[in-house]
A = this chain, B = another copy of it.
Amino acid sequence: MTAKIFPTAQDAENAFYEALESADLEAMMAVWAEDEEIVCIHPTGPRLAGQEQVRQSWAKIFSGGARNRVHVTHQVTLSGMMMEVHSVHENFALEDDAPGRGDARPAPIVATNVYLRTAAGWRMIVHHASPAPGQAEPAPRETGHKILH
Contacts and interface: CB of A to CB of B under 8 A. Distances in A.
A116 B128 CA distance: 18
A126 interface: yes
Interface string A108-145: 00101010100000000110101111010111010010
A58 to B, nearest CB: 14
Contacts of A128: 87, 110, 112, 128, 130
Given A46-B138, A47-B110, A126-B87, A116 B53 contact: no
Contacts of A74: 47
Interface in A63-91: 74, 76-78, 80-83, 85, 87, 89
B87 A133 contact: no
A48 interface: yes
Contacts of A149: 82
Interface size range of chain A in the complex: 35 or more
Given A138-B53, A139-B53, A47 B82 contact: no
Interface stretch (A13-21, A33-41, A96-104): A33-41
Interface in A45-68: 45-50, 53
A46 B126 contact: no
Nearest to A118: B148
Contact of A89 (B47, B82, B141): B47
17 contacts: A39-B85, A44-B133, A46-B110, A46-B138, A47-B132, A49-B76, A78-B114, A80-B116, A82-B83, A82-B148, A82-B149, A85-B114, A87-B128, A110-B128, A112-B112, A112-B126, A128-B130
